[in-house]
């Protein structure tokens, strides 16, 4: 008889890994959303305080700088995300290989026992 608990161990690890990955992605998304909302609120407040052409020029320059730093942040975040995805994929491959090894071992043991009983 196959050891079900042993066979399910890699699947359980994979489920835990998936849960952790999803939680991490949600947390990152929530943090980015909060940051974006705060920046938008600050920009609105700054825009409504503009009273002069010089103030408008300063606001526009600040928005250009903000946009540039935003692009840099997106690029940096994308690199981190790519590294996380790579690590996740490597772990998934490892767990699948572990599951296959356990299954192969259990099947061979079962076949061996069945062969002995038949003989």
51 SS3 class: coil
CB 3 within 8 A of CB 91: no
Kindly state the average pLDDT of the residues 2-9: 77
**Is 69 among the domain residues?**
no
pLDDT digits 0-9 by tens, 35-77: 999 999 999 999 999 999 999 999 999 999 999 999 999 999 9
Backbone angles phi, psi at 2, to 5 degrees: -70, 140
**Is 25 among the domain residues?**
yes
pLDDT at 87: 95
**Is 52 among the domain residues?**
no
Long-range contacts of 2-11 (CB under 8 A, 24+ apart): 2/106, 2/107, 2/110, 3/106, 6/102, 6/106, 7/99, 7/102, 7/103, 7/106, 9/102, 10/95, 10/96, 10/98, 10/99, 10/102, 11/99
**Is 33 among the domain residues?**
yes
**Is 81 among the domain residues?**
yes
pLDDT digits 0-9 by tens, 82-111: 999 999 999 999 999 988 888 888 888 888
The parent domain of residue 103 ranges over 4-45+77-114
pLDDT at 79: 95
pLDDT at 2: 59
**Is 36 among the domain residues?**
yes
- Number of domains the chain contains: 1
Answer whether 0.95 is exceeded by the pTM: no
**Is 40 among the domain residues?**
yes
Kindly state the average pLDDT of the residues 14-36: 94
**Is 63 among the domain residues?**
no
């Amino acid at each position: 008889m196959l050891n079900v608990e042993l066979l399910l161990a890699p699947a359980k690890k994979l489920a835990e890994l998936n849960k952790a990955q999803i939680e991490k992605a949600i947390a990152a998304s929530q943090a980015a959303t909060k940051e974006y909302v705060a920046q938008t609120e600050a920009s609105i407040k700054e825009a409504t305080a503009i009273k002069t052409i010089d103030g408008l020029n300063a606001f526009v320059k600040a928005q250009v700088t903000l946009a540039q730093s935003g692009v840099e942040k997106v690029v940096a975040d994308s690199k981190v995300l790519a590294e996380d995805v790579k690590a996740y994929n490597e772990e998934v491959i490892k767990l699948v290989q572990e599951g296959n090894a356990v299954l192969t071992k259990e099947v061979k043991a079962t076949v061996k026992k069945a062969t002995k009983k038949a003989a």
